Structure formats: structure tokens, C-alpha cells
Amino acid sequence: MNKPVIKKSQIVDVNFGENVTVIEPVNLYGCSIGDNSFIGPFVEIQRDVKIGRNCRIQSHSFICELVEIGDNCFISHGVMFVNDLFSIGGPAKGRKELWKPTFIGHNVSIGTNATILPVKIVDNVVIGAGAVVTKDILKAGIYARNPARLIREL
């Protein structure tokens, strides 16, 4: 009988600011998390991700490499960030040059189960639950639907 390789969730090589709270189990590696931020359980934050100050990352969220999140942001339950657009017809399979970055401004709230493709989102934006953000958001406001579109300016 074959035995699987079993790995435990862990926190490795993370640059924590002051007064950060982390609820295990989590996978955090090679990232930085700003002062007064909260990371809920069952979250994965990958290498070189930058989370700003006063942020809250709720449970079951996945933040992949090449994501930068500003200050005072709220990432709700089950939010998924994507950096690989399958530009070659399938996964990049470690070809990081095919991955794209995501930049989230300050004071951004992202609702439960939203999916964020490689985009830029300016300050003072609300993304509704279940929205799929496929294009840059360059105006403050509330965005929802699939694909996400402006519902109301803020």
C-alpha cells in the first residue's frame, strides 16, 4: 500500500508587523503582514504577498503570489486571488513569467466568495459577494456581479 506525503500547515519566513493576530491552521510563507492585521483560519498567503496595516483576512481565503493589498482592507470569507490566466491553454506549471500581479488599494472591502483576477483596484472600493473582478477598477465605488461592474459611485 502506498503512503502519501503528508505536510502540515505552517508559518514560515513571514515578516509580521506589530499586534498581528493569526488564527491557526494557516499556511503563511514568505509574505509580509502589516501592523494590527488579522488573519483567520484556513487562509493561505503565498510568497512575496504584501498585506498592509489594519487589514482583516477572513477564513478560507487564498492570496497567491504577486498580490499586494493596501491598508485598512477587508477580505471576506472564501475570497480567491488568481495570478495565472492560463494564457497557454492550461496552468503555467511554475513558469512564473506567465503570472500577472494584482494591486489592491487602501480601504477596499471584498465580499465573500469573490474571485479577483490579476487587476488593479483603486482606493475606496467595495466588491460584492460572489463578484468576479476581471478588469481594473479605476473609480471608487461599489462593484458586483460576474463580471464585476459599477453599481454605485462612492
Structural domains in the chain (count): 1
Tell the residue number behind the cell numbers 460572489, with chain if given.
130
In a domain, 129, yes or no: yes
**What range does the domain containing 140 cover?**
11-85+100-153
Cα separation, 138 vs 67, whole angstroms: 17
Q: How many residues does the chain have?
A: 154
Q: In CATH, what number is assigned to the domain containing residue 80?
A: 2.160.10.10
Rounded CA-CA distance 142/128 in Å is: 7
100-130 tens-digit pLDDT: 999 999 999 999 999 999 999 999 999 999 9
pLDDT beyond 90 at 88: no
Query: Which pTM was predicted?
Result: 0.95
